Structures are given as structure tokens and as C-alpha cells.
Structure 1
């Protein structure tokens, strides 16, 4: 009784019921009774006041939620502006110029050392960046000329450029001095200074100056509520972006410049945040919300009081049962368990076993499965367990898989028949591993069973499906057959009233005419028209096949049906000229079916609407002739 389906919300009544136990005092619950007419009127009045006030406050709840989101976004945006300000503080700008000067100075020192050590009238620009890159590349290339145990160059090695032998220590020492220069302290310091400058440049390049995009929720709100703050923020960010581009250009050109600090005055956005906090607090502390809470408490209590007055008798009965359960749990459970088991044995022997055995034997007879199965039932712990035996052994050790399937079906059907609660039975592929004769026997039994309760059968066996339908049709028992398939990787697609037995819709040309009527429309696109025509010829082919089975052969032999209707042979009429005409018409139809194998006489032709109409007329003419002809005496 304490769940939310009956007593929704919280109240003293629900609290009491939630903790209801054998030692609960119902006198504490009775103080909430009775539920008077006056209280009934008061309950309706409280519910109306609550609903009206809740509707009025719903818009305020929406506004509160929106303002809370705006506050969160503005706080985050203010944090971004604080970080951006640090990059344009005067100390940071001076630091940029210091890094540029330091890098420039150290590069000049390294260049001067290179010029002093390697100056020559034969080569220009010694000590330049291009010269250093050349020396570094030469050093890396030299490492590939030797293994890890020796160092290039040595006397006898070839020059990397002129490929002439190095025969003097002077040549060797010159090349080694190049390597020493590249590894010198001044050169490394210049390299480190450049790396620091590049890192600073990268920091400016990564700054985001589009903090207030037009499509942003915060921008839209500021535009409506504080346009000045939005305009100021955008202008400062634009100025900072211009200064950032100037700084990056100075770094690229290795020039010191005069930079002026540009920082956003964050107090403007602090003012906006304070205004937001004031509005949010006013909405949260709204006196009407407190009134709404009181109305909810009042209407919930009155609703629970009304339900208590209706269900008190049930609650009182439940309490008595709880008390008895508590008393029962205090007794000797083993004694009661033994008594229950003995009673179960007696009832099982008197009723269940005999009923089940009779039903099982009857099902074995119906399914042609009389294999001499014996049944043994044992009872323990107030439960009955039955076992099947064949000559004292498990049936699975003697019977074939198909015979075991028959016994399992007999067992299942017998159990469902002796109980009254089963209104329907579902079978999943009940005839796997069975021969055609047993499939037919089981089909007949399931159709008979369907006169007593609903029977649902899932199967992949089309012969079995045909058997079910034939037995149902022979006995005028209603049925429905549906097709389930995996279409384009999606399992479980159901096609209602669709099975091999529904070929009767192809006993005339109406399905084909439906495709033709769509294809001949002027507004039908070429691709759609071609699809409709191919579908139409495919349907027409099926019409010919059904015509042969139903009208020419008078259903003597049917698809998916192992039975042959010999009696119908008397109605079959063969006319060689008519047969040849049917064959020719069938071939004419097939030549329009792309992908179908045909003779050279009937090579594939791309169909047009008039072709389909011609073949429809040909089919109907032959159908009329076949129906007109009867076997002569």
C-alpha cells in the first residue's frame, strides 16, 4: 500500500504504512479517519489552488533555469578574459621585447664567432643562418658515412663535396672545427633563445578573440539586457587581436617595438554577474514557492486520507496477515515442511500423476509415438518432480533425435492440457530432424489443438507450413500465416498474411495491372518506371506458374505440399496447341526480365509500358482459353 501507485507523495499516513509490521499500532492510523465531506471539498479546493499556482510559477522556473545557465557561461567567459589579459599586461609586453633582444644578441654573437673563425675572401656570408644550416646538414650527412665506432673525417676519407681524398691534417682539422662551432655554447644559446621566442609566438597565435560570437546564447542575452557590456567586450578583444598580430610580426622580423598595455576591465562583467545573482536569488526566495510547498503538503495529506478511508479494511486485513506470518515464523518450520510434502505426495498420487499419465499416453497415440515410455514421480520439499524412462533408461540413450522430439512434444502438450491457466501455446520449430510423415502427424495434432486454445507456430519448414494450412482448411478451422525475415541486415520484419499459400492473389492479372498503372503515368521517373515494369513482369511470371498449377493441372500437384490430388486428374485437359501457346507466351514474358536466362530466340529486351500491357492481354487470352476448355468424354 505504501508504493507510489497508491499513495503518491509523502505524508504521515504513507510514513506509517511504509513501516507497517506485526507490532504496528493501528490506533495511530485510525486517528486520520474519517474523511468528511468538508475535507473532500477542501481537498478539491487545495488541488485547484495548487494547479493554478504551479502554472503561474512554471514561467518563473523557466526564467530561473535560463538565468542560471547565463551565469555559468558568463563566469567561464570572464575566466577566459582574465587569462587573455595576462598576455597583454605591460610586464608581458616588456618580456616579449626582452626575448627578441636576447635572441637577436645571441644570434649576433654566434654569427660573429663564425665570421672570426672561418672568414674567407673566397666565400661570402659566413656566419649567416644559411651558412649554419649548410654546416648542420653537412654534419648530419657525415654521420651517415661512418659507423658508430669512427668519426668523420679521418685521413684518407673523401670530401663530401668534391669527393677528393683528405690527405692533410689541415683539411681534417678544418672540417672538425665546423662541427665544434655548431656545438659551441654561443650557438646553443642562440638556439635556445629562438625556441623561447617561438614558444611565446605560439602562445599568442592560440589566443581566442571570438569570445562573444553572434550565435552564442550569452551574446544574445547580453545584447538584450546589457548591450554596453557586450560592445565593450568585443571592442577590447578586437584591440587585443590587433596588438597580438603586431607582436607576432615583431617576433617574425626579430624587431623590438613599443607596445602599449591593453587589458579588459573585468569589473564591468562583475557588475553583470551581481545583477544576475540578485535576480536569481529573488526567484529562488519567492514567497509563492513556499505557499506552493504548503499547498502540496496539504493536498497530498487529504488525498492520502481519502484513500485510507477507502482501503482501511484491506490494510487492517493485511496487518492481521503480517501478525500471523510472524507467528508462523516462530513455529517449527521443519514440521510444517514435512506435513506439506506429505500432502503434496497424496494430492500428486491422487490427481496430478494419473491425469498427466493419461494425457501423456493420449498425446503419444496422437503423435504416433508409442515407444513404451514409463513415468515416475517423486515429491520432496513440497514439490513434485517427474521423470520419463524407457526400459529403465533415459529415453535419450535409446530413441533417435526425431523420436525424442515426439516424446518432448507429447510431454509438453500433455502438461498444458491438464492445467486451466494456459490459454495459448507457442511452438518454435517443433519439427526439426523429423521425417515428412511425422511432420504431417504433428501438423494435424497442432491444428486439432487450436480448436481448444490459441496455437502459435514459428518454423522455417515450408512443407510443415503447407501441412498446417491444409489440415486447417480441410476442417474449416480459421488461421493466419505471416512471413518474418531479415531484410537488409534488420531482423524481425513481419509481412502480414504473406506465405506460399497466398499465391491465390496471382490467379488473375490484377497484381500485374497495378504495376502497369504506375509505370504508364507521365509523371513516373525513368528509374521508377523501369523498377515497376521489372516488378510487373516478375508478377506476370508468377501468374503463369499459378495458372499452370491451378487451372491447367487442376491442383493435382501443389507447391510445398507432399500430397497428390489424384481425383483431380479427371479434370485435367491437355491440348498440345494450347500448351505450345502458353510456353511461347511465358517465354515472351521472360525476355523482359533482366537477369533471367533465356534462349537466343527470346533475348532480353528493355521493357516499355506498352510491352507489359501486351503481355497482360496475352496472358488473359490464354487464361480464358484454358478455363473454357474441359476434358472431352
Structure 2
């Protein structure tokens, strides 16, 4: 398991923002201040301090570590083709890469090199953040960027269709890319120059995030930041204790319970006046005053007792039950009446009201005596109309009596009578309080607002009485009572009982004083309610921030970092790194590689030997620092035993020639072991790569030259740029051109042949010039270089007149036959034949071989 795999597995049960920090670092290479603020916001969202991010669910998705796992097979990049919609790159172009050696891609500014490199950086694995790929801004039809990569995996070829949104491909991510932008992700130079290994760099950045979030929290919670200043209450009342112990866990309901009601606030002045009076009176006087108040208030309380008893909720429920019982029994009677009594001129005969009329008539007849019967028989006089009763009427009257005597009818009448009597009792309730005006005023004096509340109670009782007397009662009623008033009388009783002597008087006054302070403190809470709620919210925030701060403890990060080191991951990396530094020849000063682990930062620290101070960062030049970055990049490949291809994009941008040569040498050596692809716009570095390839016998060499037209960039050519070629490579190009001349000589005209030879001799002339600089003078002086290679002068003591004659002769012939000098009319000289051209090319070949073999020019 690689360090990255271990770290990703380890962070799975850590806070969400840790997980996200690792994910961002893998994507971007490092964390910026904006990234750390984003992580802080995410942590606050976890604790409900801010709304969660709209994409919060994606934060917990698995971390993609494609390319960071152990390499299973060697992966080589064969071609890059099918490019569409990428900047101004021309379509139907194909870049072919040498699979077993070195490919050098050259392109001047604007030729498309950076666009092709950008595709490979996105498709393959590049440390650090990547700029988005843009389309052709000059094209009306801006296509979606896409490309086709063909790779060789364990000897088998496969194609990879790439788009900016495509899922990372495991094989493509096995190929590493190094460029100027990613170089700084391999180095740390805060106090010392250190190398940040991939994987352990994740822990370094996680520690940086934790430290950054911790710092933000400490700045936010410093002192009393965000808290409204509220003076404490010294009394020790429940309200003052509540205020002094705010923690952020209190609810708004709890705050409200400690706020004074309006009634309490209104009573403050009355209580103050009472307290002044009590302090000026004896115990007997206080007690007498309290008794007087009680005697005045008690009759009013008694007055209300009857209405409250007859009009309370329990009485309503009883009355409602009587009504429901009467209705139910009457329904039974009505069904019976319809069944037994029919064809009557009136619908409600034998109902409750009619039954009262029947009972009155029966009582009248019975009171008359005279042996009259009820109901009257045939021939008797009707007690209502005084006419004789007919046979039909007598029969109906007997039916009515039978119905009335039925048990169901009796039950209905009894239920109706019970309901009527209950309502009559309600109707007798007296609610006139005019005779108790003095008691009402005294109640108001004792407790402000109580008179109004009692008057409101009368109104409520009046409305309640009217409801009770309704023909049909509502379903339910809300309760109310006289508790504020009765509580006042109870309180007076208690206070009267407390006052027995002067000592009890003092306690009585002290209690009154304490009650006043309690209400005043409650009023203070009510006055500062909004600020208290604001402080509770802020204290809650501070508590949550403290929990986030606790998550910033990086001890577990350091433990994991040390564990990875102890498992033998770091030592091979350290050795590979040291080996790479040696390969670059840091002979200007000697470097020791030491490891450190502080707060999760596991880095390699570079020391100057025999120096007590780490000053490598101060001494190392830009070129040396770039070589350190490349060394770290290659060290990781070696330590992880990776054999897949590596790609370098402008690896020596703005370096001195000395370091450019060392980088060229090192990369060519690497190409002898794995596929190496280099893109550059530096023609000098291109030349250095060719020289190193020649010196190290790298025969598997591929060339890609990029050009642009008026409308398109990235036009691929397989021939290398002439200016970068060494003498031997130029001779190779001239060999190819000689074959073209032979074809023209065989099938063309003399004019066509002459026109074709002029550029040939122009190039041959430049080849001789390059030979003089490169071989004869042994590169002591190279054009456009700042330095002179004095140590190479030792080879120049063999230069003789023969060399001058050989070069001058060949050079003069080139000057006579190339386009560039005007020949006067009439002074024309014979133009060379094809055999002469071939002989002139053989002359430079022979002289080059003589210098390299016999005179040891390198």
C-alpha cells in the first residue's frame, strides 16, 4: 500500500474537512488561503454555524487516487491524436512518441506546444492544480475539447478517449508529468530548502489547513469578540444567577422565564411605596393594615364564588351531558311517536312541549273532581274547547295517554326537566359588582391591573352565562378563574401569619425587599433580552468553534507520518533523492539530507555540510533549485519502482547553460531506462539534448516539431529544427537531401538541379560552421552562452594549417554555390555536378570522423 493509499484510508473516519483537505491537495498539489477558508466554512457547516454548501454531499464521496496506487504494469505513451476543440490546435494531427527512448518535442512560442502539453497534464498525473483547457476563441464553432491517447500497457495497446469531464484513467495516470508550475510542489523553502515527498505532502498540507483554521478561530474568539457588554447583577436572585452563567446552551424559552411580565413591571412602584410604609410601621400596624385589606377584599371573593361554581368548565360539562341525554332520549321518543301515532294534523304532538300541555290538562281535570276521567271518554266535555268528545277523538286521546305513560316518554320528560332546572339555576346567577367598588379599588392599589382583570372576569362570566342559557350548547369551553384575586387573599393570609413580633417584622420587610429586587432583576433581563439572546448565540458559536479547534489537533497526523517513515517508505526515497542530487553534481557545496517530522510535516531537509545553519535556500540558485525539484520527481519514480513513461514540459525554463546541460544529460540518461518525452521551446536546450543523446548513444530518438499557420497551431512535423542539430545530426539531414538531389539530377532539368543545390550548399556551409564551434574548437566558446569552458582548451593544441586549409577550401566552395552572393554577368563559374555534391558531403563526414576518433573531440 502506497503512502497515499494509507493516508486516504486513514482519513476516512476523520472530520469531513480533513477528508476534503486531502481531496483538494491531491487535485491541486497544495492548499491556498482560499482553500483553507473553504475548509473552515465546511467545518462550520458541520456544526450548524453556517448553511452547508450546496455540493456538501459530494465532499464525502470517495477520494480518487487514480495514479497514486502501486504500479502494476509499465505504461508507455504511443500517440496523441484526434485533438479537437483545444485552443487553436489544428485537427487531424498526430504526435507519435518513441516508445523505448527519448522523444523531443520542439515548438516556438505560439506553435501549440503548451496546448498539447496541457492535454497530457490533464490526462496523465501532474502534481499541482491545472489550468482549464480552453477552446478556440477565434472559432465560431467552438467544439468540446477532446483527444485520443494510445498507450502500451504490459505490451498490449489500448486507446483512451479523453475529455475534460472524463473519468481519470488508471493507465494514463500512471504516466507522470513535470512542468514549471508543478516544480514548486516538490520543494519547501520557508526556513530551509526541503523536499516534499508525494503522499507525505498530503499530511503537510493537512497540517497547514489545521493550523490555518486554528488561527482563524483564535482570531475570531479572541477576548470577548462578538459579545455585547451586559453589566452583571450582584443580587444573587435567580435572574442574576442565570445571567452570570450563560453558556450558549440556553434556549429562548429559558430566557423568557427569567423576564418580568408586564404585571410584575407595573407592580414595582407599588412595591417600593409599600416597602417605605412597612419600614415606618410597627409589627402591629402592619398586621392591622393587612387584616383591614383582607376584610375589604374577602366579600368580593365570596361574591365571585357562586358564579365561578355555576359557570365553570365542570358545570358546563355536566350541563352539556344533560343536554345530550335529553336529545338522545327525545330522539327515541320521536321514533316511537312516528311509529304509533300517525295521520295527525300536527307534527310535534307528544313532544316535550306538548307533553307539558298534556300534563297541565290532566292536572286540571283531576283537580276538578266530579269523578271526571282523563283522558276524557266519548261524550265527556273537552277541557279546552268545552265540546263533547266524539268516538274518534276519544280513541286518539286514549292513544296519547298510552304514549305518554310509556317508559321512554317518561325518561325523555325527566331528562328535559333536569336540563331545564339546571339552566334555571344558571339564570339566577348575579353578576352585578357595583356594591364592591371599594374592594376593586383596593385590589388595584395592591396589584396594578387587577381591577381591570376582575372587570374582564365579570364580562367573561356574563358571556359564559349567556352561552349556558343557549338553546343548544357548544361542544366545549375554555376555562378561566379568579386565581389572581384569590392568590392575593391567600398571600395576605400568609403575610398576616408571618407578623407576630418585631423580629418577624424585620424578616417580613427583608422578604419584601428581596421580592422587589427579584422583580427588578427580572425586568433587567427583559430590558436586555435581545442582547442576551445575541450573546447566547455567540457563546454557542464560540463553543462550536472550540470543538472545531479541538479537531485541529495534529498529533494523529504526526503519528501517521512517523508510522509511514518507520515502515521503510521514507528511507528508499531518501536514498533515491540523495542519488539524484549527486547525479546533478552539486559540487559547489556538499548537501546532507536529513528528515524531520514536526506537527505532521515530514520533509527532507537539506543542510550544508560542516555548517551550523540551514542556508541552502539562501545559497541555491534558481537553476539549482530546479534541479532539486527534478531530482525529487525522479527520486519518487525510483523509490516507488515505477517504470512508466515520464513527461517533461519546459524543464529548464530560464536556467543557466551549466544547469541546462546537467538536466539534459540526466533526462537522456533516464530515457535509457524508461520512455521519456520532453517538450521545450528552448532551442539551446534542444541542442543540449541532442548532444547528450549522441554522447550517451541514445539511438532511440524521436523528433516532433510544431509549427503554426495563419489560422492554426500545432501542425506536426517529424524533422527536428535545423538550428538545434549537432554536426552529426545535420549531416544526417544533408544525407536525406542528397537523395532528393539525385532524383532531380536523374529526372529534372539542369535549372531545377541548380536551384535545388543552392539551399543544399547553404545548409552544408552552416554544418561546417557548427563543426568549427562544436568539434574543432571543442565547445570552448558556444555562441549565446555566458561562460567559456576553459578546461576544454587542452584539446586545442593540435590545430594546424591543415585544419585551416581543409575548412577554408570547403567553406569557400559553399559560399560560391549557395544563394546569398550576387555573381557578376560574364563571370559565371561551373556549377557542381551530383558527384561533386556527394564528394563535398563526404568531405565533412570524413573530417568529423577524424576529429572525433583521432583527435578525441567530444
Which has the larger share of helix? 1
Under TM normalisation by the shorter chain, which class is it?
Answer: 0.3 to 0.5
Q: Which has the higher contact order (CA 8 A, sep 6+)?
A: 2
Q: Which one has the largest radius of gyration? A: 2
Q: TM-score, normalised by structure 2?
A: 0.27
